[in-house]
Amino acid sequence: MADPHRASSGTGLDVDAVRADFPVLERQVHGHPLVYLDTAASAQRPRQVIEAMDDYYRRYNANIHRGVHTLSQEATEAFEQARRRVAEFINAPAAGEVVFTRGTTESINLVAQSFARPRLAPGDEVLITHMEHHSNIVPWQILCEQTGAELQVAPINDRGELEVDTMVAMMTEQVRMIGIVHVSNALGTVNPVAKVCHEARQRGIPVLVDGAQATPHMPVDVQALGCDFYCFSGHKMYGPTGIGALWAPLETLVAMPPYQGGGEMISVVSFEGTTYNEPPAKFEAGTPHIAGGIGLGAAVDYLESLGMDNVAASEAQLLDYATESLSAIEGLRIVGTARAKAGVISFTMDGIHPNDIGTIIDHYGVAIRTGHHCAMPAIRLFGLPATARVSLGIYNTRQEIDRLVEALISAARLFA
Ligand code: PLP
């Protein structure tokens, strides 16, 4: 049966049908219908996700994995089914290779401390790019402080594109770990991650990919990318906050020491010593965010029902429209003009601080983000302390972009 959300052409979405799934889009802000253009910070949730979590709390709320009673078994099955769905979504070879974490940030810290820390010594290097989110900078800085290793940063050009050849040239024998963002949350750049992974693999350097802004917008295939670790967050992809995932091949997870100690991650505990559970349980100490896992599974089901190719095609068309519309505003400068971009437009306007832009257009019901977007080095590279940022999701329309433009023009008039 045809999915009601897919456009008949197969190259986009029926956005009206998608919008009907998002209850929050019915609300007014300052007397105007909400225009939500802050999906890169956190996406809105469709009723399918809200209902899946509500159903867990109402009908089978219980702790998982060790319970013999019906509710516990139902909750365990739902949580593990979510893991299987997440694994399929990123084309992971096995569900046991998906570790549930609190999100991208925790996933990266886990890899830095458990995988990389034992492998680093003074003189070694960790290589990242200039467009990383703080989550893919600070854990490596902490690691370098702990081990005496050095952080190296691959440059980007003035369009906000990675200088790939320079990055490859920086993959020397000293480099023991690479961290790279798949899609930049500050500039929208889509990085040539498969190429970087290929070059790194030739040199035996493991690569972690920060997929926080990729999984909501495009098909992701961790096997085709050839990465060693892939991380993402539920709340960026229409799922709950407080849940995300780390993918790594089973043999890698087996070889890694635990990250945190506690319940669930053990096999046998005695005062003489403890043996650890198999992955992924080895990395999931304590009671997990059960409702969150179930909600993330529902988010994956939702995105799959739309088709990630359709999501990408629909957002690409809207990005073109938004880029053209914003570029036509006098005094507006787009920051980040990479040839390969996903639905993020950072910009500045002559004579108005980004925070003022955000505050003023909120009064027209338009929600955007302003500031450094947790990517201070990338924004500073353009000589700026902050930008305004529009980020697109599956529910946004051309009419909403027109409303954004009207609100921005009104803001500009106030400061003229
Ligand atoms: N990486 C990127 C590219 C992001 O955009 C974000 C969030 O904005 C993160 C990492 C951190 O994600 P979280 O706060 O969900 O851990």
User: What sign results for the dihedral spanned by CA atoms 165, 167, 171, 177?
Assistant: negative
Give 280 Cα–ligand 1 centroid separation in angstroms. Answer: 22
Provide CB contacts within 8 A for 99, sequence distance 6+: 107, 110, 245, 246, 247, 248, 253, 279, 280, 283, 284
The reply to whether ligand 1 has any atom less than 6 angstroms from the CB of 104 is yes
What integer pLDDT is reported at residue 4 of this predicted model?
56
User: Which of 197, 227, 231, 374 is labelled catalytic?
Assistant: 374
Give 67 Cα–ligand 1 centroid separation in angstroms. Answer: 34
User: For residue 270, which phi and psi values (nearest 5 degrees)?
Assistant: -140, 170
* pLDDT tens-digit readout, 286-304: 999 999 999 999 999 999 9
Alpha carbon distance 90, 296 (integer Å): 13
Counting atoms of ligand 1 from 1, which one is nearest the CA of 184? 3
Give the pair of three-digit tokens for residue 140: 């490596």
Which residue has its alpha carbon closest to ligand 1 atom 14?
105
Give 236 Cα–ligand 1 centroid separation in angstroms. Answer: 8
Q: What is the CATH number assigned to the segment(s) 15-33+307-414?
A: 3.90.1150.10
Instruction: Please tell me whether residue 67 adopts helix, strand or coil conformation.
Output: coil
What integer pLDDT is reported at residue 357 of this predicted model?
97
- Helix (H) / strand (E) element for 59: namely helix 47-59
* E strand intervals along 3-138: 28-29, 32-33, 35-36, 98-101, 125-129
Give 306 Cα–ligand 1 centroid separation in angstroms. Answer: 23
* pLDDT tens-digit readout, 117-136: 999 999 999 999 999 999 99
The reply to whether ligand 1 has any atom less than 6 angstroms from the CB of 135 is yes
The reply to whether ligand 1 has any atom less than 6 angstroms from the CB of 245 is no
Alpha carbon distance 196, 203 (integer Å): 11
Binning pLDDT at 50, 70 and 90, where does residue 3 land? low
Domain with CATH 3.40.640.10 in the chain: 50-304
Q: Are 113 and 354 in contact (CB under 8 A)?
A: no
Domain with CATH 3.90.1150.10 in the chain: 15-33+307-414
CATH 3.40.640.10 is right for the domain spanning 50-304: yes
The reply to whether ligand 1 has any atom less than 6 angstroms from the CB of 366 is no
Which residue has its alpha carbon closest to ligand 1 atom 12?
104
Which residue has its alpha carbon closest to ligand 1 atom 4?
212
Alpha carbon distance 134, 153 (integer Å): 13
* pLDDT tens-digit readout, 215-225: 999 999 999 99
Altogether, the residues listed in the chain come to a count of 416
Among 181-185, 194-198, 228-232, 378-382, where is mean pLDDT lowest?
378-382
Ligand 1 pocket test target in 236, 296, 341, 372 with most atoms within 8 Å of CB: 236
Q: What is the 3-state secondary structure (H, E, C) of 170-181?
A: CCCCCEEEEEEE
Active site residue 374: yes
* pLDDT tens-digit readout, 315-363: 999 999 999 999 999 999 999 999 999 999 999 999 999 999 999 999 9
The reply to whether ligand 1 has any atom less than 6 angstroms from the CB of 213 is yes
Residues paired with residue 162 on neighbouring β-strands, in sequence order:
156
Query: How far does the chain reach from its first CA to its final CA, in angstroms?
Result: 55
Counting atoms of ligand 1 from 1, which one is nearest the CA of 107? 16
> Mean pLDDT for the chain?
96
Confidence (pTM): 0.97
Measured torsion, CA atoms of residues 80, 84, 87, 89, in degrees rounded to the nearest 10? -120
The stretch 239-249 carries a mean pLDDT of: 98
The reply to whether ligand 1 has any atom less than 6 angstroms from the CB of 132 is no
Provide CB contacts within 8 A for 229, sequence distance 6+: 107, 111, 115, 206, 207, 208, 209, 246, 247, 248, 252
Give 158: exposed, middle or buried? Use CB within 10 Å, 0-12, 13-18, 19+. exposed
Tell me which amino acid residue 31 is.
G
- Residue 101's closest CA among 198, 203, 235? 235
User: What sign results for the dihedral spanned by CA atoms 28, 34, 38, 39?
Assistant: positive
Ligand 1 pocket test target in 100, 101, 105, 243 with most atoms within 8 Å of CB: 105
* pLDDT tens-digit readout, 54-88: 999 999 999 999 889 999 999 999 999 999 999 99
